[in-house]
Amino acid sequence: MLKIFLKNISIFILFSHSCSAFSLPEEEVAACWDAANRPPYTYSDAAEPNISKGFVIDLVEEVARRKKINLIIEGLPWNRCLDLTKKGVYQIILGATENRERKIDYHFSQTIF
């Protein structure tokens, strides 16, 4: 199922297909993160509240650029991010840690740091 395939697609998987012979068709992927701000990983400035920033944001945007994926990133309240990803509105949750409960509904990548 597409929802399962895209849910929490990992940065590790995207990097593992970096061979130039492998090419994804241009697609759109939506990601969310905890808008409570976790600098330096994910945050937004008061001056630009709609602009996602941070190490994880930069890394995911670079992977998407290289793979020609149109990436939409939004900061949301944490529980809303989890819920909307579970419902298929978002395909990636940035900065989620693995636990038993989440493993039931989400796929996890290897850690990136």
pLDDT in tens, 87-107: 999 999 999 999 999 999 999
Q: 51: pLDDT confidence band, cut at 50, 70 and 90? A: very high
* Cα–Cα distance for residue pair 97/73, rounded to 1 Å: 18
Does pLDDT of 5 surpass 60?
no
pLDDT value at position 25?
54
Domains of the chain: 2-12+23-105 (3.40.190.10)
What is the torsional sign of CA 36, 15, 98, 91?
Answer: positive
pLDDT value at position 105?
93
Per-residue burial over 101-113, b if 16 or more Cβ lie within 10 Å, else e, is ebeeebeebeeee
pTM: 0.73
